[in-house]
Amino acid sequence: MEQKNFEVIIVGGSYSGLSAAMSLGRSLRQVLVIDSGLPCNRQTPHSHNFITQDGEKPAVISAKAKLQVDIYKTVQFYNGLAVKALKSENGFEITTESGEIFTARKVLFATGVRDLLPEIEGFAACWGISVLHCPYCHGYEVKNEKTAIIANGEMGYEYAKLISNWTKDLRLCTNGKSELTLEQTQTLKNHGVLILEEEIDSLAHSEGYVSDIIFKNGEKVHIKAIYTKPPFEQHCNLPQEIGCEINEQGYLKVDFMQKTTIPGIFGSGDATTQMRSVALAVSSGSFAGAVINKELIDENFK
């Protein structure tokens, strides 16, 4: 790639990054999208709750998006990993794993998050397939099925309330001693939620589709779907290294204009919000692109 200087560099070329690239490409901006090709939903067989793309494979959506963005010749793609971000005299420098350096006046981090999966045998193989995080994305497909939630305390209580909208055949696995209050325990029991406190040993499954939760005491529960929210970390540490703040929940801190705490750096998609979905990632990326373009216009008119 001969060109090294751009108006905008987008780090992360999945749904949010591609959406921002389209917005900026249609604004005639010189844009570079750097992407390593590891979206967090790469194991998920189908994407839902995204109008016009409901039920489509995630990889198909992103491939189609990339083809459409590629029409805008001011947008270029770099397949690789960004490993360093620095402030420069006229903006920012992004260095890739292969040692190439690109510069831009603005940077958008659309880098997502990395889920930290528990050391439960079978969990990783089922993650995104039958072990789910979002009922709005996947709840309809397992409605009224035998369902478990792996959570505890306040999160377990609120999660059970939420999932009970999609199925009444529900049990809450606290994976150890329950941290529910007496009132929460009684409320869940009144609504038919079974509370299981045994520690989980493994998940029995076939090609990622869970069949049983096996507990360390040897007991097992037949199940068709599991909901849980594992901890996560930022997929990319460059925003923090350059000085962008992370909020108390672990997300890249942005304001209502998708601006981080460092002027000229923006964030969008899953890295910035607990509302993880393709539709919302696309929305925030499109908006971030428009805001970046407006900021460039305003600077040019000074």
For residue 41, the model assigns a pLDDT of 67
* Mean pLDDT computed over 291-301: 96
Between 141 and 2, name the one with better pLDDT: 141
CA distance to 58, 147, 156, 170, per residue, from 185 (Å): 38, 18, 10, 14
Question: Which residue type sits at 15?
Answer: Y
Reported pTM: 0.92
Between 191 and 49, name the one with better pLDDT: 191
Q: What is the pLDDT of residues 136-191, one digit of tens each?
A: 999 999 999 999 999 999 999 999 999 999 999 999 999 999 999 999 999 999 99
Task: Find out whether 242 and 262 touch, Cβ atoms under 8 Å.
Answer: yes
Q: Would you say residue 282 has pLDDT above 70?
A: yes
Q: Above pLDDT 70, what percent of the chain?
A: 98
Task: Find out whether 31 and 11 touch, Cβ atoms under 8 Å.
Answer: no
Q: What is the pLDDT of residues 83-130, one digit of tens each?
A: 999 999 889 999 999 999 999 999 999 999 999 999 999 999 999 999
Between 137 and 258, name the one with better pLDDT: 258
For residue 40, the model assigns a pLDDT of 65
Q: Would you say residue 44 has pLDDT above 90?
A: no
Task: Find out whether 222 and 211 touch, Cβ atoms under 8 Å.
Answer: yes
Least confident of 49-58, 86-95, 182-191, 230-239: 49-58
DSSP string, the chain: ----EEEEEEE--SHHHHHHHHHHHTTT--EEEEE-S--TTTT-S---SSTT-TT--HHHHHHHHHHHHTTSTTEEEEES-EEEEEEETTEEEEEETTS-EEEEEEEEE---EEE---S-BTHHHHBTTTEES-HHHHTGGGTTS-EEEE--HHHHHHHHHHHTTT-SSEEEE-SSS----HHHHHHHHHTT-EEE-SPEEEEEEETTEEEEEEETTS-EEE-SEEEE---EEES--HHHHTT--B-TTSSBP--TTSB-SSTTEEE-GGGS-S---HHHHHHHHHHHHHHHHHHHHHHHT-
Task: Find out whether 68 and 22 touch, Cβ atoms under 8 Å.
Answer: yes
Written as six digits, the tokens of 268 are 């969008």
For residue 174, the model assigns a pLDDT of 97
The span from the CA of 214 to the CA of 221, in Å, is 7
Between 89 and 70, name the one with better pLDDT: 70
